[in-house]
């Protein structure tokens, strides 16, 4: 038997429904914020990710899926979404469009070769946004608020934002020197990754999960003390706008994010109901230099990304039940070939009018068909009868109340609509009186 690759999964049945529900919420919230959907290629030139993510980043050094295509070109399965969006922004000359800034969102598979664990697969679905063309702190706050409201709309109630600033190039360079000077005497007390990062990417030491609780880490200098005036003003404005938007946040100077292109605002979304490193649902930040580094104009930008698997884990941790419809509206049963033919016709007709309808596909007995209707949680069942059909009638039974009505076939759609509306009103009444 051929099995799925390690670090991947078949998303089926209930989990698939959960993901589609989450994706629907994402689309609806993005529409309200006036973000346009973008779909970039799953694989891009390897150079794109090496230049954007950073040669010294863990993603490039350890995790990318690289391959040479039949034309001898070096390609990489996308490990994150920002680089492809920025490449598309430059290539399609979006900077020249009349309506600015450009607000985009994506949702699709990403690939990283890492040790599989809860909420961290080698192929994973990630959604995110990118806003290109504004350096206003209000945009930083909007992006954070948008992500927070997606989590909130899905049903999560224990989310907090950890926020920090890496400052501009001047602030970050000064802090990098400070960090190297601080950690160098303690190099032997750090993990192997931190030893490697000291010279290649020293800010990433602050993001270490192995040494996070050590006194060395706790006493490390804060980057907030190294911000110049302009960087400090930008960060203070972001916090001010988040207060206006009523987004709960906590300033955490150890937040640096794992990608080299970030500057100024960086942030992570944490679900306090979860334990360990998997409690980070997503994050992002500002990247004012990336568009220029990839060959475009000097365009400021900000964005975030979130893993959908992490969102599902958070829903489980918070014991949130999604409002997923597990029922069907009507199951049509039949016995003979004439009734089967009409079942085929009527099933199609009702589906095209917005109803969820099923019928029998295995030519089972009526008793077995009733059991199938029960398994599918059908709200109504109807046993097609040749005599009734000749009279242009159909018997419809409510599986909950056991009441049965004889309906003119021409009125069936209106009958089902009316009964469905009655059920909705009953559900609302019951909720109000719980």
Residue 198 has a pLDDT of 79
- Do β-strands 378-383 and 357-359 pair in parallel, antiparallel, or remain unpaired? unpaired
Residue 257 has a pLDDT of 76
Residue 428 has a pLDDT of 42
Between the alpha carbon of residue 212 and those of residues 25, 108, 172, the distances in Å are 35, 31, 21
State which CATH number among 3.40.120.10, 3.90.1150.50, 3.40.50.800, 3.40.190.10 fits the domain covering 328-423: 3.40.50.800
Handedness of CA 402, 403, 408, 413 (dihedral sign): negative
| 3 state DSSP class of 127 | strand
pLDDT in tens, 78-89: 999 999 999 999
Residue 56 has a pLDDT of 58
pLDDT in tens, 134-184: 999 999 999 999 999 999 999 999 999 999 999 998 998 888 888 888 888
pLDDT in tens, 25-83: 999 999 999 999 999 999 999 999 988 876 656 677 679 999 999 999 999 999 999 99
Could you give the residue range(s) of every CATH 3.40.50.800 domain in the chain? 328-423
Tokens, residue 432: 């109000």
| 3 state DSSP class of 44 | strand
Closest CA to 372 of 352, 363, 17, 384: 363
Cα separation, 377 vs 257, whole angstroms: 46
Residue 36 has a pLDDT of 98
Residue 123: in which H helix or E strand, if any?
A: strand 123-132
| 3 state DSSP class of 37 | strand
Residue 57 has a pLDDT of 65
Residue 40 has a pLDDT of 98
State which CATH number among 3.30.930.10, 3.60.130.10, 3.30.70.1230, 3.40.50.150 fits the domain covering 13-168+228-317: 3.30.930.10
Peptide bond into 101 cis (omega under 30): yes
Q: What is the 3-state secondary structure (H, E, C) of 45-69?
A: EHHHHHHHHCCCCHHHHHHCEEEEC
Residue 182 has a pLDDT of 87
Residue 261 has a pLDDT of 84
Between the alpha carbon of residue 431 and those of residues 24, 401, 424, 426, the distances in Å are 24, 19, 11, 9
Residue 431 has a pLDDT of 42
| 3 state DSSP class of 397 | strand
Between the alpha carbon of residue 230 and those of residues 170, 272, 386, the distances in Å are 10, 33, 81
Q: Are 112 and 64 in contact (CB under 8 A)?
A: yes
How much is the pTM? 0.89
Could you give the residue range(s) of every CATH 3.30.930.10 domain in the chain? 13-168+228-317
The residue whose two tokens read 């972001």 is 238
Q: Which residues of the chain have pLDDT under 50?
A: 428-429, 431
Cα separation, 171 vs 221, whole angstroms: 13
């Amino acid at each position: 038997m051929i099995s799925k690759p390690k670090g991947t999964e078949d998303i089926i049945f209930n989990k698939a429904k959960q993901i589609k529900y989450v994706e629907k919420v994402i689309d609806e919230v993005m529409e309200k914020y006036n973000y346009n959907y973008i779909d970039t290629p799953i694989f891009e030139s390897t150079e794109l990710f090496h230049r954007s993510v950073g040669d010294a980043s863990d993603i490039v050094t350890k995790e990318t899926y690289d391959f040479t295509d039949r034309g001898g070109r070096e390609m990489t399965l996308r490990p994150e979404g920002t680089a492809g969006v920025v490449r598309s922004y430059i290539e399609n000359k979006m900077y020249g469009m009349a309506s600015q800034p450009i607000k985009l969102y994506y949702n699709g598979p990403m690939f990283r070769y890492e040790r599989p664990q809860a909420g961290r697969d080698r192929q994973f679905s990630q959604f995110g946004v990118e806003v290109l063309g504004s350096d206003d702190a209000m945009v930083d706050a909007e992006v954070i608020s948008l992500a927070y409201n997606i989590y909130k709309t899905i049903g999560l109630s224990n989310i907090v934002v950890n926020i920090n600033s890496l400052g501009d190039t001047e602030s970050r360079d000064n802090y990098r020197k400070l960090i190297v000077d601080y950690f160098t005497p303690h190099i032997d007390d750090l993990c192997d990754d931190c030893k490697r990062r000291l010279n290649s990417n020293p800010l990433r030491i602050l993001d270490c999960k192995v040494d996070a609780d050590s006194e060395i880490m706790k006493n490390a200098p804060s980057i907030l003390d190294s911000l110049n005036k302009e960087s400090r003003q930008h960060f203070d404005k972001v916090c001010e706008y988040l207060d206006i938007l009523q987004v709960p946040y906590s300033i955490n100077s150890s937040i640096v994010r794992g990608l080299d292109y970030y500057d100024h605002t960086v942030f992570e979304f944490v679900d306090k109901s979860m334990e360990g490193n998997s409690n980070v649902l997503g994050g992002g930040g500002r990247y004012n230099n990336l568009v220029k580094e990839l060959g475009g104009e000097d365009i400021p930008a900000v964005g975030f990304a979130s893993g959908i698997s992490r969102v599902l884990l958070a829903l489980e941790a918070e014991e949130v039940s999604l409002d997923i419809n597990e029922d069907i509206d009507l199951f049509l049963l039949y016995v003979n070939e004439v009734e089967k033919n009409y079942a085929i016709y009527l099933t199609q007709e009702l589906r095209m009018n917005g109803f969820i309808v099923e019928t029998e596909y295995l030519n089972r007995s009526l008793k077995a068909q009733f059991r199938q209707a029960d398994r599918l949680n059908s709200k109504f069942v109807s046993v097609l009868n040749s005599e009734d059909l000749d009279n242009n009638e159909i018997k419809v039974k409510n599986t909950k109340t056991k009441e049965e009505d004889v309906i003119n076939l021409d009125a069936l759609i209106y009958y089902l609509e009316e009964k469905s509306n009655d059920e909705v009103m009953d559900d609302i009444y019951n909720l109000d009186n719980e």
